[in-house]
Amino acid sequence: MQGEVSALENIFSKVDRNEDLTREDALVLLKIENRSDDFYRLLSKANELSQKEYGNKGYVFAQIGLNSAPCPGNCKFCSMGCENFMVEEETEKSMEEVVEEAGRALAQNIDALFLMTTADYDIEKYIEISRQVKKIMPPDVMLIANIGDFDLKTAKKLKETGFTGIYHIVRLNEGIDTALDPAQRIQTLDAIRDAGLELIYCVEPIGPEHTYEQIAEEMFRAREYHVDIMACMKRVGVEGTPLFDRGEITDLELTKIVAAARLVTRPKKSMNVHEPKQMALLAGVNQLYAEIGINPRDCAVETGNNRGFSIAAVKDMLRQVGYTTK
Ligand code: SF4
C-alpha cells in the first residue's frame, strides 16, 4: 500500500516538474482501482492540471456526418461496417444541406466544425463541399476533416481547402476488429504532420477486452505526434454489430482513463471525453462534441434526434462545472 502511494506521489511530482511520464507510470495510473482514494487523487490531479493550463476555457466541437453507407472499413463496432450495415437507410447530404447545417452549428458559436464521412467517400466531392463550408466559417473556428486514409498530396490539398486539422487515429485492435491496415493509418498520421495540419487524436473505441498496455500505447502515439487536442472514447455497443456482446466499460472506468491520458499526453489546448460524460468533467476534460447527421454509434440517420448531444446540451454540461464557452 505504502509503495503504491509513493509511486503515485512520484508520478504527480513528475507532472508538476513537466517531465514526461513513462509507460510504467501510465500503467500505474491505469491500474488504479476505481473508487479507491487513489482514483479520486488521480481525477483531482488531472483537474488541477487543466485548471492551471486551460483556466476555465471550455470548448465545443460539432461534427456533421455527411453520409451513411456500407463502409469498407468494416469496423466490427460500427453501425455502417459493410458486413453489418444497420443504419435505417443509406443517405448522402447534398452540398446545400451540409452548408445549411454548418451554418446552423456556426450560429451557435462553436470552436471547431468536423466534417465526417465513411472511409471511401469521394475525396474530390468532399473537398468541394468543404470549400463551400469554409466560405461561411469565421476565421477563429477550426475546420477539421474526419475521413478515410490519404497520402501527403491529399493532406496538402486539404490544407489548401482551409482545413486546420484532421481527426485520425489508429484504433484499438485496428486490423483485427477493422478491415483497415494499421500501417496505412500511421502513414496518414505522418501525412497530416508533414502537411502541417493539426492532428486531433483519441484513444478509441475502448472496450472491456482492451488491455491497459494497448490503451497506454495510443496515449504515447498521441504524444509522439505532439497532439494538443486529445480525447478518449469508449465503445458504445450497437446491437447487431459483431462486438456488441463484448459489452462496454463503465463511465467510471472511462473517467479514470481520460484522467490518465490528461497526465500522460499533456495536450496543450484541450482534453475531451466521448460521448459526453458529466463525471469526466471533474477529471480534466474541458471539451465536448455535439453531433449532427450520422455517427458510427447510432442507427438513426439523424443522431442529433437520437444518440447525439446537441450543441446547447454540451455547452450546458461544460457550464455546469464552471467552464465558460463562446
Ligand atoms: S468506424 Fe468509420 S471506417 Fe469504420 S466502418 Fe464505421 S464509418 Fe467505416
Domain ranges of the chain: 2-320
Give the chain's mean pLDDT: 95
Check if the beta carbon of residue 86 is closer than 8 Å to that of residue 74: no
For residue 248, what is its C-alpha cell? 462496454
20-38 pLDDT, tens per residue? 999 999 999 999 999 999 9
Residue 75: name the closest of 225, 201, 194, 185 by CA: 185
**Using 50, 70 and 90 to split pLDDT, how confident is the model at 5?**
low
Beta bridge pairs of residue 142: 112
145-181 pLDDT, tens per residue? 999 999 999 999 999 999 999 999 999 999 999 999 9
Residue 206, classed as helix, strand or coil, is strand
Sign of the Cα pseudo-torsion (311, 312, 318, 323, in order): positive
112-125: average pLDDT? 98
Cβ neighbours for 41, distance < 8 A, ≥ 6 positions apart:
8, 12
**Using 50, 70 and 90 to split pLDDT, how confident is the model at 43?**
very high
Say how far residue 321 (Cα) sits from the centre of its chain.
21
Q: Which atom of ligand 1 is nearest to the CA of 82?
A: 5
173 C-beta closer than 6 A to ligand 1: no
- Residue to substitute in 75, 82, 243 for testing ligand 1 pocket (most ligand atoms within 8 angstroms of CB): 75
Per-residue DSSP letter, 83: T
73 C-beta closer than 6 A to ligand 1: yes
294 C-beta closer than 6 A to ligand 1: no
Task: Provide CATH code, domain 2-320.
Answer: 3.20.20.70
The predicted pLDDT at position 125 comes to 98
pTM of the model: 0.95
205 C-beta closer than 6 A to ligand 1: no
- Residue to substitute in 67, 71, 241, 274 for testing ligand 1 pocket (most ligand atoms within 8 angstroms of CB): 71
- The answer, yes or no, to whether residue 195 has pLDDT greater than 60, is yes
Question: Torsion angle of alpha carbons 192, 194, 197, 198, nearest 10°?
Answer: 80
270 CA from centroid of ligand 1 (Å): 25
For residue 51, what is its C-alpha cell? 485548471
Q: Which atom of ligand 1 is nearest to the CA of 71?
A: 8
- The answer, yes or no, to whether residue 71 has pLDDT greater than 90, is yes
